[in-house]
Structure 1
Amino acid sequence: MASDTDLTDLARAALGRWDGNFGAPELFKNRENAVFSVRREDGARFALRVHRAGYHSDAALRSELYWMRELDRAGIAVPSVVPAKDGSLFVRIDLADTARQVDMIGWLAGAPVGEAGSGPAYHHRLGALAARLHLRGSQISLPADFTRHSWDEEGLLGERPVWGRFLDLPALSADQHALLREAADAAKAGLAMYGKTPDRFGMIHADLIRDNVLENEGALQAIDFDDSGFGWYMFELATILCANLDRADYSETRRQLLDGYGSVRPLGDTDVAHLPLFMFLRATTYLGWLQTRAETSTAREKAAMHIDRACRLAAAYLAHEGDRQ
């Protein structure tokens, strides 16, 4: 794994591929990707992203940046994409034994909303932002070589899910494994019944949690499109709700999120009726993520919480399906 020093050296080497003179890159965060704050001599600030090795192919990263650029041009509050000197949307930098993709995007003014500011009223605005993103995104003409992963039946329940095989998580008990498998089998039929028509399925952000939403003078802005891909629009809303499941005001948060979304892009009764399905599926992705990192302290510390949540949502989904039959 590349050290912070190695990544900083990569960032410094990459800066020469963009127009302008830049100061030293400052590491802002290093989680899935390493994000550096860089300032140009005219004072403009940018985010330089050194991507984790092996997550996105060149074609997939080019497609992510293309989609972000088109959303920005359509007036959606997302970071602007800054092409390199040669016009490419990202560059590849090889330094010593480390090779990474690097891109530059505009630095958005604003700050993460945080727990205190993310009550029901905030979720009404977030629902509206998600709806605008979906609505505009569905109108963008994608090039023939556009490539992104899919949060579809294969990407969630297939042999090689996007975030890993959740049923292989070692920490699952026999009863938990059986419950999750029963719900997964039901979910396959549920997804087939719901379908992938253009009003239900398209490009989504796929990670509109609080850390990835900034607020600036009352306006919400979406950042971090690393997990964006094709998926169900209700999966987007389920992602937001899963992060709020244990809040005392969850019911009102859910209502405000759906109302906010519907104020821009109408939801049908069938869409809302399938929310328990997508809540369960979103919960399984976190188990898959932990399964691929089972040896880490993060997996050990968070496995019990995510397993409990996934099992609760599995039981709720199965009960919901039983009531509908």
Structure 2
Amino acid sequence: MSHFYALDNDQQVSCLHELANTALHQWEGSFSELTLVKYRENAVFSARRDDGQRVALRVHRHNYHTEAALRSELQWMEALAAGGLQVPEVIPTRDRQQLVSVYSESIGEPRHIDMLAWLAGKTLGTSEHGVNADDSTPDVFHAAGALAARIHTHGERWEQPDEFVRHAWDEEGLIGHQPFWGRFWELDALTTDQRQLLLAARRRARIDLRRYGRNLSNFGMIHADLVPENLLLDKAKLRLIDFDDAGFGWHMFELATALFFCLDDPRYDQMQASLLAGYQSVRALTKQDLAMLTPFLTLRGMTYLGWVHTRAGSPTALELTDFLIERTCKLAGRYLDSALPET
């Protein structure tokens, strides 16, 4: 493993900033104001081109996604944009490449890097602190539901390219032997009782997911990260960023993701009702779809526990682990006490 991972957070950021600055030379124009915006899976930098264009430069985590998967993400974003959705424009290099690989001695491994046009707008909040207080919140969640439905409808009709590669938030990816974000039940911070509760919910979910099934009406390409910080409101327009988690999954898992960090908000019932109403203004949901919201909220929590387990020591894991355990265990208990309608 590269020596980079033994560095503290500030030292890692310094190395990534140096790499990003070097990579910018592969794009047309000169750039200034290179500033770190976010560092979780990827390091996302903001920069200003000499023509005034603000851009987002993404330095991808090593070996998290394959090159083919990263190119597929950009391909899907372009397809969504062509379908009229408000997503970031992909900016190619001088050589018309959407994705480049750059090596840095200070990091000791190559990193894939791409550039996107910066979307204007204000985020709805953060995963850590929830949704901002605003009287327009119900309208925003209605718009978010409609946006999710348009994405799912696009996926149902989209002719997927032969070489398209993305991960799956399916049974194996969520609760299989090796879930996509890690074996959440092995998280050291869990007590014995908490671990047994989560494993019981995992066993129940296997049955419910298989009974629910997969078809074009409930499963396909999803954004998979409709959290407050990835939804931008610019005047009356709602825009979507950060497609790094996008993959194949259940549509209701998408909606559960949008609600997970809002569960303790006093406006939650209104948020949920608005989200579902917005979705159903574009695309129908069955009784069975709606009944799967509680299971998918639980499964979403399990994925987050897998994330902090496999990224122990990161600032985000240190901040969120206790909160995620408490919330996911509460959801698991509620799920095990519930009964799904027969299909």
- TM (norm. structure 2) is 0.90
1:304 is displaced (CA, Å) by 2.5
Pick one of 96, 105, 109 that aligns with 2:116.
105
Root mean square deviation, CA, Å: 1.9
Cα pair 2:288 2:341 within 8 Å, conserved? no
1:271 is displaced (CA, Å) by 0.4
Q: Deviations for 1:218-247, whole angstroms, at most 9, x for unmatched residues?
A: 111000111111100000000111111111
1:210 is displaced (CA, Å) by 0.6
Tell me the equivalent position of 1:303.
321
1:148 maps to a residue whose letter is R
SS at match of 2:46: strand
Q: Does 1:13 align with 2:13?
A: no
In 2, Cα distance between the equivalents of 1:22 and 1:303? 38
Tell me the equivalent position of 1:37.
46
In 2, Cα distance between the equivalents of 1:256 and 1:302? 27
Pick one of 230, 241, 245 that aligns with 1:223.
241
Pick one of 72, 85, 99 that aligns with 1:76.
85
Cα pair 2:171 2:206 within 8 Å, conserved? yes
In 2, Cα distance between the equivalents of 1:81 and 1:143? 18
Q: Does 1:207 align with 2:225?
A: yes
Cα pair 2:34 2:45 within 8 Å, conserved? yes
Deviates more, 1:79-88 or 1:216-225: 79-88
Q: Does 1:277 align with 2:295?
A: yes
Deviates more, 1:20-29 or 1:102-111: 20-29
Q: Deviations for 1:141-192, whole angstroms, at most 9, x for unmatched residues?
A: 2211111111000001111111111111112222211211111111001111
Q: Does 1:116 align with 2:127?
A: no
Q: Percent identity?
A: 48
Tell me the equivalent position of 1:251.
269
Deviates more, 1:57-66 or 1:124-133: 124-133
1:324 is displaced (CA, Å) by 6.3
2:168 maps to a residue whose letter is S
Q: Does 1:263 align with 2:281?
A: yes
Cα pair 1:169 1:294 within 8 Å, conserved? no
1:297 is displaced (CA, Å) by 5.6
1:301 is displaced (CA, Å) by 4.2
In 1, Cα distance between the equivalents of 2:309 and 2:33? 37
SS at match of 2:173: helix
Cα pair 2:59 2:113 within 8 Å, conserved? yes
Tell me the equivalent position of 1:60.
69
> Structure 2 matches for 1:157-168, cutoff 5 A?
157-168=175-186
1:113 is displaced (CA, Å) by 2.2
- CA gap 1:41/1:7 in 2 versus in 1, 3 angstroms: same
- TM (norm. structure 1) is 0.94
Cα pair 2:100 2:114 within 8 Å, conserved? yes
- CA gap 1:106/1:285 in 2 versus in 1, 3 angstroms: same
1:199 is displaced (CA, Å) by 0.7
